Structures are given as structure tokens and as C-alpha cells.
Amino acid sequence: MKLKKLSLSVVLLLTAGLVSAQEFYAGAGLGIVHVKDSDSFVEQGTSVEIKIQDKTFGGRIFGGVEFTENFAAEIAYIESGTAKDDARIFIDGEEFATTPIETELSATMVSLIGMVPLNDDVRLFAKAGYYDGEQKASTPGGLTLPGDVVLSTPGATVKEDSDGATFGLGARAQVTESFTVRVDYDWFDTDIDTVQSFGLSLQFGFGN
């Protein structure tokens, strides 16, 4: 989905919210983002595989509308933080070298949320939506060979647009009439093998 279509979806959701919302809300949070990726190709008859894995801290800001106690719509902006690792390079199944690499994801996300109240203060929820953003991968250069032999190589940065489906689960607990604490798990469908986050957020609600 391109940014224009995503913007249209946001407008439609928020317009519907203005008409029928029980409550508006906004909030922010921090979380741990798990990034895992691998890539493989064949170069001049040689099989090459690259692997990376890291956990980092990311953040989000969000706002939404609750239509009923069971249904809401939400828009969020997320930053994954910078995942850093030594990418492991394998040639024909044998580890050949490592090189430092950093990956990032930033995106705008629109979700529909279904909620199930456990009691007056606690709700479980599931969400599904779409995100549109950018992935970036960069390396300062340098290859470390077995025996700690370092070869000087040029650095590089690659940026590309990224969009896809996103799904999540969570729970929220009402602390006061206006403030809520919530935990979120989110999974993103990206070109990277795994991008998932576990976050803690504070949410402020206000009536229409």
C-alpha cells in the first residue's frame, strides 16, 4: 500500500471516529525490538549466506478512537531503534568472515483493534493493520577473517521503502479515569525475516 492510500485509510478511520467515538486516546511507549535476518545468493558458483540478529530499544507514539468497549481504530508512528550486530558471512556452509552492520525500521501504522474486557479495569486486545515506512541497513566497512585478520572494505548504506501487514496482541489496565497502562506485542511483515516488538505504554483517554 502506498502512502497516499495509507493516508486515505487514516482519514476514513478518524472521520468515522469523530462521528461515533465513545472516547479518544493518545499515548507513547518504549519497548524491545527483536530483529533477525538472513540472506543468501550464489556468486561465481560459490554459495554465500549472511546472518544478523539483535535486540534493541524502540519507541512509539499513538492515538486512536474507541467506538465501543470492544472495538477501536488506532494510528501510530514507530521507531525500531538501531539493531547492531556482526553479520556472519558463510561461504559454502563455512563461516568466512564477519562485518559490523546496523538495521533500522521506522513506519506509520494503522490498526483495527478488538477488545475483550476481563473486568471493569482490564481488557485483552488483538489488532491487525498495515504499516508504511522505511528500512535502512548500513555498515562502516571492514571484514574480520578467522584469526582476527581485518580487511579494509568500503562502507555502505541501503534504504528502501517498506510496507506490509502488521498484527499484535496485548493487555491494558485502567489506573485512573484518564490513564491506562498497556503492554503490546507487534509483528511486522517485512523483507527482514523477523521484526517483532514487546512494548510498555502509557495511554491518556478523553471523552468526545
DSSP output for 15-73? HHHHHH-SEEEEEEEEEEEEEEEEEEEEETTEEEEEEEEEEEEEEEEEEEEEEETTEEE
What is residue 33's predicted lDDT score, i.e. its pLDDT?
A: 83
* Residue of 135, 140, 138, 174 whose CA lies nearest to 154: 140
What is residue 4's predicted lDDT score, i.e. its pLDDT?
A: 47
% of the chain residues with pLDDT over 70: 68
Lowest mean pLDDT among 58-62, 132-136, 200-204: 132-136
* Cβ proximity of 65 and 14 under 8 Å: yes
Confidence of residue 196 (pLDDT cuts 50, 70, 90): confident
Beta bridge partners of 32: 57, 198
* 2-19: pLDDT as tens digits: 444 554 555 555 555 455
What is residue 3's predicted lDDT score, i.e. its pLDDT?
A: 45
Confidence of residue 174 (pLDDT cuts 50, 70, 90): very high
% of the chain residues with pLDDT over 90: 32
Give the whole-angstrom CA distance, residue 99 versus residue 53: 13
Q: How many CB atoms lie within 10 A of CB 16?
A: 13
What is residue 2's predicted lDDT score, i.e. its pLDDT?
A: 47
Q: Tell me the whole-structure pTM to 2 decimals.
A: 0.73
Give the whole-angstrom CA distance, residue 133 versus residue 120: 36
For residue 25, give the C-alpha cell: 486516546
What is residue 136's predicted lDDT score, i.e. its pLDDT?
A: 78
* Cβ proximity of 77 and 63 under 8 Å: no
Cα of first residue to Cα of last residue in the chain, in angstroms, is 31
Q: Which structural domains are found in the chain, ordered by start?
A: 3-33+48-207 (2.40.160.20)
Give the whole-angstrom CA distance, residue 109 versus residue 77: 6
Residue 202 has pLDDT above 90, yes or no: yes
Give the whole-angstrom CA distance, residue 55 versus residue 36: 9
**pLDDT, average across residues 193-201:** 85
- For residues 5, 6, 9, 10, the Cα torsion angle rounded to the nearest 10 degrees is -140
**pLDDT, average across residues 68-82:** 88
Q: What are phi and psi of 3, to 5 degrees?
A: -60, -35
For residue 200, give the C-alpha cell: 510498555
Residue 127 has pLDDT above 60, yes or no: yes
Residue 194 has pLDDT above 90, yes or no: no
